[in-house]
A and B are shown apart, each in its own frame.
Chain A
Amino acid sequence: MDRMETPPLAKERTDGHDEPSPVSPRRLVGRSVRRLEDPRRLRGEGTYVDDVHVPGMLHATVVRSPRAHARIRSIDATEAKAAPGIVAILGARELGGDLRPIPVRLVPDERLLRYLQRPLATNRVRYVGEPVALVVARSRAAAEDAAERVEVDYEPLPPVTDASSAPPAPLFDHTPDNLASLIEEAFGNIDAAFARAERVVRLAFRTGRHSAVPMETRGLVAVPDRGAAEGRGRLTVWGPTKVTHFNRSVLAAMLGWPEHRIRLVEPDVGGGFGARGEFYPEDFLVPCAALRLGRPVKWIEDRVEHLSAINHSREQRYELALALDSDGRFLGLRAEIVNDMGAYLRTHGTVVPGLSAGMLPGPYEMQAYRCRVRCVLTNKTPTGTYRAPGRFECNAARERLIDRAARLTGIGRMDLRMRNLVRPERMPFARGTSILGEEVVYDSGDYPAALAEAVALSGFRMSVPDAVPGAGARAGAGSASGDAPEARPESRAGSAANAVPVAPARESGARAESGTRSDGGSYGREEPGRYRYGMGLACFVEKTGTGPFEGARAFLDRSGALVVATGAADLGQGLETCLAQIAGDALGVDHAGITVRHGDTDLIPHGVGSFASRGTVMAGNAVHEAVSELRTRVLERAAARLGVPPGDLAIGPGGLVRGTGGRSCTLAELAAEPGLEMVRYFRCEQMAYSHGVTVARVKVDTATGLVVPERIWLLYDVGRVVNPSIVAGQIEGGVAQGIGGSLLEELRYDDTGQFLSGSFMDYVLPGTTDVPTILHRDLGRSPSPRNPLGVKGAGEVGIAGVGGAVANAVADALADAEREDDELPLTPERVWKRVRCNPSPQTPAAAAAGGRNPV
């Protein structure tokens, strides 16, 4: 168990943060250097979109539909036009022919075109929150005053709120069944597999609608040059992020403007998580208004509109059937999935259900697979990606199915997985499915080792005693902190073992372990049998590093400082730091003096952006290539100047290039003449696949149904790690969001399509007291063979398995893993109803006699 050794924490923290150090190869990549972004963000010196002020700026607000489904009879803006401070009201009538559909960004398909959203509803609204008009005024308050006076006459239509039942009305007259698309994935002979099966295990599973809630809402400031309204000059838009180059192309096409006259600039960004940064209706409306009015226009999304305007995600229903042979080997998996798409298809088209279909088999061998996803339109906010899109859902469904199979076959939960995991010698492993138009071929990974280590790390094998008052909690604590190796999280990046201090401050276990909350209050009384404890795990594979390319432009400025620009975006994840580490190693200089620029379409002609855990993989390798070649040029120039062969030169601290015989020059001297500049585009046709195992321990109050997550463990492998501390942040943030989706968050609608989750009183996000201690460790065995740096993406690993682990832990606690259906989020009321249906599933004595889930 050498991996469990306590790493030299203090030492690593000292070197990691971060004095100039002697030059050695790979001296930055693999170290937890401090984030370059942090000083400005922690001091409040960042520039977020609402910090952008432009003289003469006007303010916009969006008039949104209060109805789920209705025809627009008329819009009367007479009174609104008389409101103080009003400048313009732009409705479908005013914008008319400019209202083109917003195109699909990923995997476009002609068949989807007729379900696309236009920036404003023209004659029909299809969800609560759909933009109907844009109001522009001298202040935001004046805009909101005027917006209240816009009278829209709606003729109600029957709302469609359930994707699984027969629709009461079509959303689009040309599609009576509201079925926007049918996705199929299959390999092997599924009928033969089921014919051979010793046993077939079924499960119905549902994941609730929820989505990203970045701390900073969306916003835009569109600034036209003087004369832009007459077609001269340029248009600059502050606030786009994630995919600025793509959004520029879309905006240009929709405005009928040439791309070169549009500049999109990403400011500091307070979180994205997949949802923020896509091209939304406002991304057209605000620039369009600025051009029409010839004035700068600002729009900042408020939290109320955010919750109904930003892409929702996750609402899927699964009907699964797993065929097993007598040894518990998976023969085949059948899946029928319904994905509630909401009212329109947005920029992701059907990517999310496609990811579910392509990734549902996960890390397991199986001979045959057949999956159909019905992509159904409903009168709810349109959907898109949210961190681990399609996989949070399918991993949860599959892992819950496997626990049911374990319960019904009597094979241990870990054992059943071990028998079926893809073994490392099978790598690269052709999954037989495809996602994002690309065949799924796992590049590297040791899935059985990850499971074995996760079990050791969490003490999973020891399970948790049933609810003996107090004793269960104590035993649970013991398994985590005593008998099992306590997680000194460890990361193995490159050759140096690096310690990542993981949430030492988050030892909020006190509440969980004692039945009281960390803030001193108490959930309830310890009565015999009231609290039940359970553990669950989930294995998963994560796709990362989606292509097709990303670019980097690198140059030395006249001071000899390295500047790197890329088309990737920083949504808060630490891209600047990671790229500076890679660039620093490639040139041989310290990262702290490197300037990383991103998110501005004027910096580099082509860019793809930051999504799908691709930033470090794609932009990182582009930077590595560009700066490595720049270094070659630098050394050639220095060699000529110093009269020594390039091979005898080294670049050292302070930008000093030293040759033999004491001869040296500075980078600044070399950069005095033009030419030290390099642009490289890294292309990769195949993704890199991270993997991991999430383990959850929960405490269930059977009196109230409240599930308290006591601890989460995560064993992961994300290839070579550039910055362990940043990876730790990604992991912990992802787990926290996963807790939200597993227990708390749900975007709800009533039967009329009214949106019920329009504030943080109604949409329950996890707070600090809801997120348990998170212990994680990097397996560090499997660099990606698909890129020179060997990196894989880490952005979605934290969240991918939480739903499955929590669902399994709750089923373990309630000893009802054999139930035929399950769902997320496991809200207290749902769990209470479940307990009530099965009031005393297991007495402690019965559990001891073997009634529990085998581990």
Chain B
Amino acid sequence: MKPAPFAYRDPDSVDEVLALLAEHGDDAKLLAGGQSLGPMLNMRVVSPEFIVDLNRVKALSRRGTSADGGFAIGALVRQAELEDDPAFAVAQPLAAAALPWIAHRPIRNRGTVAGSLVHADPAAEWGGIILALDARLAIRRAGAPPREVEAENFFTGILETAVEAEDLLAEIRLPPWPDGARWGFREFARRRGDFALAGVACRFEVDGAGRCRSVRIGLVGVGDTAVRARLAESVLEGEPPGAELFAAAAAAVGKEVEPLDDGHASAAYRRHLAEVVVADALAEAWEQDGRDEG
């Protein structure tokens, strides 16, 4: 449980970080909160030659309302900072409601949103959240213009994302919360704080005609990556919400997900759990009376 030897750098600017990444690329790992990387180093699951520690880069610690009225989360923002920020709860009720379900408080004290996203465990809550929120991920690389990736293009495979070896995920950009949007977050884990066997973040609006609009369902734990439940979204879109519709949407989720068999649960069980959490989360969302419910 001791890491293999590595070289350590702790630059204090984004440019230096990018320069180090450009130089060492595949041989380097970025250290933010260390809540995934630390155990992986200790268990020698990874043995990078370089650790580039971001913690002295003050610019990456910024969080708050962005120009478009959305919410920006810098690469060094700890989960607990958001959890404790009343402004975040008002601005982003869905994400705020999901935060307490992420691991345990000591892990949230150090762990960062960006770190969780880049590690890309398929069961990590943030995967479902960014999909449900249409978030954009701001990525930097030395010698290239900053680029933005849509949430739905972010996850590329198991533990893989659009963030490549030379890239820094600099900021997570959550769009402004739509007035009157309803949301639900549910997950099922054997113990509180464990990675969920299935989880969901969902959001929809109800238009003047009483029909579901802008439905987003982000699932975690039921595949290689966090995924949008597009079939279920299409079942809901344009239809009047209600128990039967939600049951149909949940059944659609069961058809569209492709969970894995692993040591924690069978594919069939995960598929079933996905249906349960989706039905629960949709009903929870529907019972809300506007945004102040959060």
Q: Which of A303, A827, A829 contacts B1 (CB 8 A)?
A: A303
Could you count the A-B residue pairs with CB atoms below 8 Å apart for me: how many are there? 67
Asked if B194 lies at the interface with its beta carbon under 8 angstroms from chain A, I say yes
The reply to whether A304 and B191 contact each other, CB–CB distance below 8 Å, is: no
Question: Which one of B57-65, B162-170, B264-272 is at the interface?
Answer: B264-272
Chain A positions 779 through 816: 1 when the CB is less than 8 Å from some CB of chain B, otherwise 0: 00000000000000000000000000000000000000
A706 at the interface (CB under 8 A from B): yes
B30 to A: closest C-beta gap in Å = 22
**Structural contact, B2 and A140, CB atoms closer than 8 A:** yes
Check if A832 sits within 8 Å of B269, measured CB to CB.
yes
Is there contact, CB below 8 Å, between A145 and B4?
A: yes
Closest beta carbon of chain B to A528's beta carbon, Å: 12
**B191: min CB distance to chain A, Å:** 6
The answer to the question of A748 belonging to the interface, with a C-beta cut-off of 8 Å to chain B, is yes
Question: Which residues of the partner chain B approach A769 to less than 8 Å between Cβ atoms?
Answer: 191-192
When distances are taken between beta carbons in the complex, the residues of chain B under 8 Å from A832 are 269, 272
Pairwise interchain contact B43-A304, C-beta atoms closer than 8 A: yes
Within A99-148, the residues touching B (CB, 8 Å) are 140-141, 144-145, 148
CB-CB < 8 A to A744: which residues of B? Answer: 190-191
B26-47 contacts to A, CB under 8 A, are: 43-44
Whole-angstrom CA separation of A744 from B44 in the bound complex: 27
Interface with B: A16-24, A440-448, A518-526, which one?
A: A518-526
Residue-by-residue, is A818-855 near B (CB-CB < 8 Å gives 1, otherwise 0)? 00000000011100110000000000000000000000
A829 touches B269 (CB 8 A): yes
Instruction: Let me know if B276 and A703 touch, CB within 8 A.
Output: yes
Q: Are A525 and B280 in contact (CB under 8 A)?
A: yes
B284 proximal to A (CB < 8 A): yes
Query: Across the interface, do A829 and B265 meet the contact criterion of CB distance under 8 Å?
Result: yes
Contact (Cβ within 8 A) A519 B273: no
A141–B2 CB distance below 8 A: yes
CA distance A764 to B284 in the complex (A): 29
Is B263 within 8 A of A524, CB to CB?
no
- A144 CB contacts on chain B under 8 angstroms: 1-2, 4, 44
Q: A336 CA to B179 CA in the complex, in Å?
A: 66
Interface centre among B43, B186, B263, B273 (most CB of A within 10 A): B263
A residues in contact with B192, CB < 8 Å: 517, 519, 521, 767, 769
A767-B283 Cα distance, complex, nearest whole Å:
29
A141-B3, A304-B43, A524-B280 as given contacts; A764 in contact with B265, CB under 8 Å: no
Q: How far is the CA of A116 from the CA of B103 in the complex (A)?
A: 42
List residues 203-254 of chain B with CB under 8 A from any CB of chain A: none
Question: What bracket does the count of chain B residues touching chain A fall in?
Answer: 20 to 34
Q: Provide the residues of chain B in CB contact with A520, threshold 8 Å.
A: 100
Question: Is residue A704 within 8 Å, beta carbon to beta carbon, of the partner chain?
Answer: yes
B2 touches A706 (CB 8 A): no
Decide if the interface of chain B is mainly helix, strand, loop or mixed.
Answer: loop
Query: For residue B191, which residues in chain A have a CB less than 8 angstroms away from its CB?
Result: 744, 764, 766-767, 769-770
Most buried by A among B101, B186, B192, B195: B192
CB-defined contacts of A302 to chain B, threshold 8 Å: 1
Instruction: Determine whether B143 belongs to the interface, using a CB cutoff of 8 Å to chain A.
Output: no
Smallest CB-CB separation from B2: which chain A residue?
A: A141
Point out the residues of chain B lying under 8 angstroms from A766, CB to CB: 191
Distance (whole angstroms) from the CB of A50 to the closest CB of chain B: 12
User: At the interface, yes or no: A9 with Cβ under 8 Å from chain B?
Assistant: no
Say whether B44 contacts A762, CB under 8 Å: no
Complex alpha-carbon distance, A766 and B193, angstroms: 12
Distance from B288 Cβ to chain A, minimum over Cβ atoms (Å): 13
Asked if B188 CB lies within 8 Å of chain A CBs, one says yes
Residues in A with CB closer than 8 Å to B284 are 525
A contact residues around B188 at 8 Å (CB): 523, 704, 706, 828
| CB proximity of B184 to chain A, nearest CB, Å | 10
Cβ distance A478 to chain B, nearest Cβ, rounded Å: 27
B-contact 0/1 string along A441-466, CB 8 Å cutoff: 00000000000000000000000000
Q: Are A521 and B263 in contact (CB under 8 A)?
A: no
Q: At the interface, yes or no: B5 with Cβ under 8 Å from chain A?
A: yes
Tell me if B43 and A764 are in contact (CB < 8 A): no
Q: Are the CB atoms of A762 and B272 closer together than 8 Å?
A: no
Q: Tell me how far the C-beta of A347 lies from the nearest C-beta in chain B, rounded to whole angstroms.
A: 26
A756 CB within 8 Å of chain B: yes
Contacts A140-B2, A521-B100, A525-B284; A761 near B265 (Cβ below 8 A): no
For A523, what are the chain B residues with a Cβ–Cβ distance below 8 Å? Answer: 188
Instruction: List residues of chain B with CB within 8 A of the CB of A750.
Output: 263
Task: Indicate if the CB atoms of A829 and B266 lie closer than 8 Å.
Answer: yes
Q: Which residue of A lies closest to B47 (CB)?
A: A148
Of chain B, the residue at the smallest CB distance from A59 is: B2
Determine the residue in chain A with the shortest Cβ distance to B185.
Answer: A521
CA distance A461 to B223 in the complex (A): 46
Look across to chain B and name the residue whose beta carbon is closest to the beta carbon of A832: B269
Q: A141-B5, A144-B44 are in contact. List 19 more A-B contacts (CB 8 A).
A: A141-B2, A148-B44, A304-B1, A517-B192, A519-B100, A519-B192, A521-B100, A521-B192, A523-B188, A524-B276, A706-B188, A748-B263, A756-B263, A764-B190, A827-B190, A829-B265, A829-B266, A829-B269, A833-B269
**B interface residue numbers (CB < 8 A to A):** 1-5, 43-44, 100-101, 186, 188, 190-195, 263-266, 269, 272-273, 276, 280, 283-284
Sample 26 A-B pairs with CB under 8 A, ordered by A number: A140-B2, A144-B2, A145-B4, A302-B1, A520-B100, A524-B186, A525-B280, A704-B273, A706-B190, A744-B191, A750-B263, A756-B263, A757-B263, A761-B194, A762-B264, A764-B190, A764-B191, A764-B194, A767-B191, A769-B191, A770-B191, A827-B190, A828-B190, A828-B269, A829-B265, A829-B269
Residues of A within 8 A of B (CB): 140-141, 144-145, 148, 302-304, 517, 519-521, 523-525, 703-704, 706, 744, 748, 750, 756-757, 759, 761-762, 764, 766-767, 769-770, 827-829, 832-833
Sort A-B residue pairs by CB-CB distance and give the 7 closest, nearest first: A141-B2, A302-B1, A756-B263, A829-B269, A703-B276, A144-B2, A525-B280
